[in-house]
Structure formats: structure tokens, C-alpha cells
Structure 1
Amino acid sequence: MHTPLPPLACNAHCHVFGPRDTFPYAANASFIPAADAPKEALYALNDKLGLQRCVVVQSACHGFDNSAAEDAIRHRPQTYRGIALVPTDVAQAELNRLNSAGFRGVRFNFMGHLGHRTPIEEVLALAARFEPLGWHLQIHGDPSLLTDMAPALLRSPTPVVIDHIGRLDASLGLDQPAFKALRRLMADRRFWVKVSGMDRITRLGPPYADAQPFAKALVDEFGDRVLWGNDWPHPNHAGPVPDEQQLVDLIHEIAPSEAARHALMVSNPERLYQFGDLT
């Protein structure tokens, strides 16, 4: 029997792809999905799993055209928010427009396979421009980012969300330098972390016994700045594609108490993504 999630539980990390006839993929995209993953499929999955709120993260396959994510938010404006991809010289008017459309931050990819290496000083300059909107930076990168970019990230004028437990290697254990570096960043209260991606950092596969201790440690130590998402539809995934219900069931392993689950799934995302501010 599956233990239900608290009311207003949030899937804080997922994507929509296409449909390509309506929202074409970017000509210079670093990857093109084999299949579309439209908003209707996302709605159906979240509804089935009991995830009443959602944050749609703009995908690299659509580049800087945030239309597909914006469309997904538009049809559920009370309960869906977005994270955009934008160039660092984006016009302020476009940031304001995206804010009105329900976007609450900008993601930057520093993973090698995604091919993005935006200079960090340009990233921080953009963050200064969207800080008045109450937005945050979302950073996706391999473990070296936690050390190499830490001094710059600590100068961010906005909150910073680290994706997928820092994409570290779970087989190296809790004492590995990358996890120590992540915990040092999290000691600064402007930093948040997504305990999504256990399926990406595991070396054992489901149910991710090697990865669960990392997520649990972060929930235990930084419980008011952790977020959870299922990363549907799991782009560029190595190994077996996760079982969606299993990912939800594992929430009770990494956040065993009712209070920890409520913070992880409800109050933390409500605070960061400003749910309830659009009609």
C-alpha cells in the first residue's frame, strides 16, 4: 500500500517536451527527445501520484524558447510554476513577462553533455537583474562545480538551488569531497538543494540504496531548504528509467517524519516558488 503524500505536495523538478508540431525543438538543441512529453502527460502523471503542485523546468531541447513550459503553466496557473532558460543579455521586459507568466528562476547547465559553459560573472550579473522579482538561480553541473564554482556562487545576489544532489557519485560515500563541498555551500542559508536525481547518482540502480543516504542526510541537516522532484520524463538518463511510483514511495525513506515530508513537499516549494501569488 502506498502512503499518501501531504495535500499540496509539489513535484519541483520535471520537464515538458513539445509536442513538436506546436512547440518545435531548437535547431541547435544539445539533444532532441525521442518522443514528445506534452503537458497533458505531465498533468496525468502528477494527478495520479498525488502531486498537486509542480515546477516545470525549461528543457535544453527547446533552448531559450520557453513557450512549451509557459503553456503548461498557463493551463494550471494556481498550482504550476516554471524555471526558464534565457540568455544572459535577455531584455528586462522579457524577464518581467516571464514573471507574470509564472516563472520564478533561471537554470544554468554546466554539465558537459549539455554543452553550456556560460561565464559565471555573466550569470551573476543576470541574477542581479532578476533579484527584484524574487527569482533564484538554479545550477546543474557535475561534482567539480561544487568546489570550482563555489566562491563565485557564494557571491550570488539571489538564492541558489543546486540540482540533483550535485550530481555526485553515490558509490564514493558520504565522506567524499564533493558531498562535503555541497554541505559547505548549504551552510549558507541562501542555498537550496534538490534531493531529486537519486536515480542519476546511484551506481546500484533502483531502489538506490547507495543514493538514499545522501538525500536523507540533506533532509536531516537542511530540512527547510530541500526540494523534491521526479525529473520526468528523465532526459539523457543512463540506466533503467525510474518507476514513478517508486520514486514517490522513497520520499518516506528520505524524509521519515511527517514534519520533514511537509517541509520537503509543501512549505519549502511554496516559499521558494511563491505559490498562491497568481490568480
Structure 2
Amino acid sequence: MNLHPPATPTYCQEPTPPRLVLPPGACDTHVHVFGPASRFPLAVSGQAAPADAPKETLYALHRHLGIQRCVIVQSAVHGLDNAVTEDAIAHGEGRYLGVALVPLSVDDAELARLARVGFRGVRFNFMKHLAPAGGIDEIVAFTRRLAPLGMHLQVHFESALIHHLAGPLAQSAVPVVIDHMGRVDASLGPEHADFAALRQLMRNPLFRVKVSGIDRVSPFALGQAAPDYASGIALARVLVREFPERCLWGSDWPHPNHTHVPDDGALVDALTQIAPDARTREQLLVRNPLEFYRFEI
């Protein structure tokens, strides 16, 4: 399948057809949409600006992979203007929902509007390359405004920050989703303090975790014949085994700010190792996201 990307894409031009047949209703809970910049201006410029990765390409990829539902996460590429994600939700035939980026000062009317048009949560970043939206105590206090709307909190942080953030996040008034397995360094193994802290956090039923980003947390050396995500897969498998009802999977398409461009078909096939049996995969890909994000179809 040729997705006809621009000259310097952040996604695989011809993703491998996955060998794994996904269960009906399978959901990709973590993607972004970029552009087209001519219609949806970027909030970044220069080398930080990725090539367009529009909704039409995303829809085509999901048809190719056998994915029928999706959660689009607003990216800092488009800043706090959620229009690009809202547009993709609106054209997704009820099968696409979203997570927004908003300032802590956003008014209640706008939060309620976002909830009505298909946004199920709000994301805050604690990453070095992204400007922080606020302090953790302010963000936890903000969750009291999300609770009446049925929206959750999603957080993306450097792995070492889990030790500082765990306590405050446990005071959230709404469920908390941890992005990309807490961005742990998978090469350090499952016994490392950061991953141990994530597992401890997950014992609290308030939390969910995305077993996405196996390609980001696994070591990769330029010049490798093919990426080996074994260490990331191993951590994802631990989380799915220990917390089967509170794990969510996502492809993290497209793939900017990366060491390489992953093959999305290979990311799907990695699910045979992350969730080795069909029943577990059905829970991870269908039941968990259906119940948590409240898809209507």
C-alpha cells in the first residue's frame, strides 16, 4: 500500500501488511494528525515542523492494518488549537475520538464543547522538548473540572519524573492515562526503578497505561538491518499480564522526533508477543478502549 507521503515523511511509505488479523472493533488509542499545514497552521517551525500527516492518510493506514476505532491525541505540533483533531473526529464516522491540549485557563464552556464533539480527555506534557502547561498540583486541581464532563487526564512525562509525579497524580479527580509506558528506557529491563515505580502506580485502579511506543523505548542503532523492539515488547508484555483490564494499545502514528521511521505493520505484528493469546488481544484492543473511551459504535 503506497500512502503517497511527502518527500520527508514521518511515517512509513509502504507499511507491511500485518500477518496478525486484528479482532473486529480493534482500536488504536494513540495517533496524531498533522496538517495539511495550508489549512491547519503549525505551532512549530523550522526543523521541528514535521511533514503533513493528514486524516485521510490515517484513515487509509487503519483500513490497511484492520483497525476500526481510534483515539487521536492533539499534538504540540498544532499547539492548543484543537481544530485539526476535531476535524478528523468529525469525519471519522463515529469511530474516531480525541484527547485535547488546553491551557489550564480554558473556560468551562470550551471544555464542555470539546466533550460534546468527541474529546474524551485532556493531555499534559512533562517532556524536556515541550513547554510545560503548568505545575503538577495545578493540573491535579484542574481535574475537578474534568470530572463532571466524563473526561480523563492523560500525562506524558520523562521516565525519571514518575517518582515525583506519582503521589500527586493519585489525587486526580478523574482516571489518569500514562503515555508510552512512562517513556522508560527498556534496555534497563523490568527491574529498573522507573519501571518498578510504574508498576506500583498501576496497582491503583485510577490509572491506565498505554503499551505504545515500543519503538521509542527500545534501543536502536542507525544502520541496523531491521529494528529490534524486543526490550520494549518485554515491558509491554509485563504490563498486559499484570494489568490486563487497564492497558491500552496505540501505534503512535506518525513518528516524528524519532531515531527511525517504524513500519506500522510490524508494530501491529508485535501484538502477538505483547498479548500472546487471542482473548488477551481482544481485551486490549477492543473491550478496554470501548469501555474507557465510550465509543458509541
Range class of TM-score, shorter chain = over 0.9
Aligned residue number for residue 277 of structure 2: 257
- Give the letter for the 1:134 counterpart: G
Deviation at 1:218, TM superposition (A): 0.3
Matched, 1:13 2:30: yes
Distance 1:31 1:229, change over 3 A: farther
Unmatched segments (≥5 aa) in structure 1: none
Checking the alignment, whether the CA contact within 8 Å between 1:153 and 1:160 is kept in structure 2 is: yes
Q: Secondary structure at the match of 1:210?
A: helix
Residue 188 (structure 2) aligns with? 172
Query: Is the contact between residue 54 and residue 80 of structure 1 (CA under 8 Å) also seen in structure 2?
Result: yes
Any idea what the Cα deviations from partners look like across 1:37-68, whole Å, max 9, x if unmatched? Answer: 11000000011100100100000011110000
Residue 22 (structure 1) aligns with: 39
Partner of 1:236: 257
Correspondence for 1:104 among 98, 120, 144: 120
Aligned length: 275
Contact 1:29 1:62 in 2 (8 A): no
User: Percent of counterpart pairs with the same letter?
Assistant: 52
With the length of structure 2 as denominator, give the TM-score of the two structures: 0.89
Q: Distance in 1 between matches of 2:279 and 2:45?
A: 41
Q: What SS does the corresponding residue of 2:57 show, helix, strand or coil?
A: helix
1:156 aligns with 2:172: yes
Aligned residue for 1:226? 247
Q: Is the 8 A contact 2:32 2:74 kept in 1?
A: yes
Choose which of 185, 190, 210 in structure 1 pairs with 2:231.
210
Per the alignment, residue 9 of structure 2 pairs with none
Residue 20 of structure 2 is matched in structure 1 by 3
Structure 2 partner of 1:147: 163
SS at match of 2:20: coil
Q: Which stretches in structure 2 are left out of the alignment for 5+ residues? A: 1-17, 222-226
Q: What is the CA–CA distance in structure 2 between the aligned matches of 1:31 and 1:38, rounded to whole Å? A: 19
Cα offset for 1:77?
3.9
Show CA shifts across 1:47-104 (max 9, x none).
1100100100000011110000000000114110000000011111101110111000
Q: Distance in 2 between matches of 1:164 and 1:31?
A: 24
CA distance in 1, matches of 2:123, 2:256: 16
Displacement of 1:189 in angstroms is 0.4
RMSD: 1.5
* TM superposition shift of 1:114: 1.3
CA distance in 1, matches of 2:46, 2:272: 35
Q: Please state how far the C-alpha of 1:31 moved relative to its aligned partner.
A: 7.3
Alignment partners' CA distance in 1, 2:113 and 2:176: 22
Tell me what 1:75 maps to: 91
Contact 2:19 2:269 in 1 (8 A): yes
Report the Cα distance in structure 2 between the residues aligned to 1:10 and 1:33, rounded to whole angstroms. Answer: 27
Q: What SS is found at the alignment partner of 2:129?
A: helix
